[in-house]
């Protein structure tokens, strides 16, 4: 299904905030907690959490684009925002996750997770439209919206395998009324694989509220954040793309309610370290699940993404932030 992009406002040349200064930094927030000497190899000792832009209602889903800018979702405002270093922020797309004509009855109509396909197409988890949509030649192409004839809840986050398969989570955070609402058609929250052949497979229902999702560099492990349980699971990937029995990667329940935020979006660097948003900010783990340190924003931090120079961009409530790192993120299809 294709929908003409003429009804969309793409690349709107209206600034969200005042023009940014040359280095874009408005202020710094939070602190960086070093829990293991190995963390110093990943984050320089003089690194700070720098605010690049603010005034968003709930920022999410950052992704670095090949043309040299960052995109991220502002979910309640149903828009995707563009940030280009040295040029500040502009609206990139509005409407974004909900393109219906009637008033959206929930609180989170916009896009959530964003990713780039192996072919270079922007791919979006659309809360309000309850689908995953891809931009192809300036038009919206719906990749998936139903499972076994029933509408998805509200796709949340996604990651591409190098073979073109798309893995995504489907909690009800963008579904008016949640699973108990009148619009719900599924009675569970799933983790799915959309094959490059268009076949949709339900991989697991074991996570009550699956959220962030990421692949290890060798694509043998799929990480899934569970926001309800405030932990991360690691699933071994089978050769056919399905999942084996999960293992607990890290349980952060001890910080729930004591630090803002919960287990949410994440990214993996080329050495397999997991940079996961969780209670307090971004928690940095070894591939084995050892906590090395925390980038503590002091805000509910929803997601993160690497730029090509190792900069880690954070979406933290009303803020877009950055932290300089020595890591190299998996950018593009993974």
Note whether residue 236 is domain-resident.
yes
Q: What percent of the chain has pLDDT over 90?
A: 89
Note whether residue 71 is domain-resident.
yes
Mean pLDDT of 227-233: 98
CB-based contacts of 283, cutoff 8 Å, min separation 6: 250, 252, 275, 276, 277, 291, 293, 294
CATH number for position 66? 2.120.10.30
Query: What pLDDT score does 40 carry?
Result: 98
Query: What pLDDT score does 7 carry?
Result: 42
72-120 pLDDT per residue, tens: 999 999 999 999 999 999 999 999 999 998 899 999 999 999 999 999 9
Note whether residue 334 is domain-resident.
no
Structural domain of residue 93, as residue ranges? 2-323
Note whether residue 221 is domain-resident.
yes
Structure tokens that stand for 40 in this block: 């110093």
Between these two residues, 6 and 190, which has the higher pLDDT value? 190
Count of structural domains, the chain = 1
Query: What pLDDT score does 45 carry?
Result: 97
CA angle, residues 185, 191, 192, in degrees to nearest 5: 85
Rounded to an integer, what distance in angstroms lies between the CA atom of residue 196 and that of residue 193? 9
Is 240 in a helix, a strand, or coil? coil
The string of DSSP codes covering 167-222 is EEEE-STTSTTGGGSTT---SS-EEEEE-TTS-EEEEE---SSEEEEEE-TTS-EE
Rounded to an integer, what distance in angstroms lies between the CA atom of residue 217 and that of residue 334? 8
330 pLDDT band, cuts 50/70/90, is confident
Note whether residue 93 is domain-resident.
yes
Note whether residue 280 is domain-resident.
yes
Burial level of 94, CB count in 10 A (0-12/13-18/19+)? middle
Mean pLDDT of 182-196: 98
Structure tokens that stand for 111 in this block: 């896009």
110-162 pLDDT per residue, tens: 999 999 999 999 999 999 999 999 999 999 999 999 999 999 999 999 999 99
Note whether residue 245 is domain-resident.
yes
């Amino acid at each position: 299904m294709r929908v003409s992009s003429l009804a969309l406002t793409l690349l709107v040349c209206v600034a969200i905030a005042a023009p940014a200064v040359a280095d874009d930094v408005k202020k710094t927030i939070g602190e960086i907690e070093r829990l293991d000497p190995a963390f110093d190899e990943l984050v320089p000792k003089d690194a700070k959490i720098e605010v690049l832009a603010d005034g968003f209602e709930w920022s999410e889903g950052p992704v670095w684009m090949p043309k040299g800018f960052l995109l991220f979702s502002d979910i309640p405002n149903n828009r995707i925002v563009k940030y280009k270093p040295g040029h500040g922020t502009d609206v990139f797309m509005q409407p974004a996750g909900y393109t219906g004509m009637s008033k959206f009855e929930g609180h989170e109509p916009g896009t959530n997770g964003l990713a780039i396909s192996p072919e270079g197409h922007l791919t979006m988890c659309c809360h309000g439209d309850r689908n995953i949509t891809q931009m192809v030649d300036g038009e919206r192409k719906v990749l998936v919206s139903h499972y076994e004839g029933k509408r998805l809840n509200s796709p949340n986050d996604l990651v591409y395998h190098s073979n073109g398969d798309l893995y995504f989570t489907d909690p009800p955070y963008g579904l008016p009324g949640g699973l108990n609402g009148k619009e719900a058609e599924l009675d569970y929250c799933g983790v799915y694989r959309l094959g490059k052949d268009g076949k949709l497979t339900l991989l697991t229902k074991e996570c009550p509220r699956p959220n962030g999702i990421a692949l290890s560099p060798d694509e043998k492990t799929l990480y899934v954040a569970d926001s309800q349980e405030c932990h991360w699971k690691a699933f071994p990937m089978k050769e056919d793309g399905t999942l084996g029995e999960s293992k607990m990667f890290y349980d952060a329940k001890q910080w729930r309610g004591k630090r803002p935020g919960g287990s949410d979006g994440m990214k993996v660097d080329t050495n397999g370290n997991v940079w996961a948003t969780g209670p307090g900010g971004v928690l940095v783990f070894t591939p084995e699940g050892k906590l090395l340190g925390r980038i503590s924003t002091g805000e509910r931090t929803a997601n993160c993404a690497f730029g090509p120079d190792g900069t880690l961009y954070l979406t933290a409530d009303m803020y877009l932030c950055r932290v300089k790192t020595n890591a190299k993120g998996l950018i593009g299809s993974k």
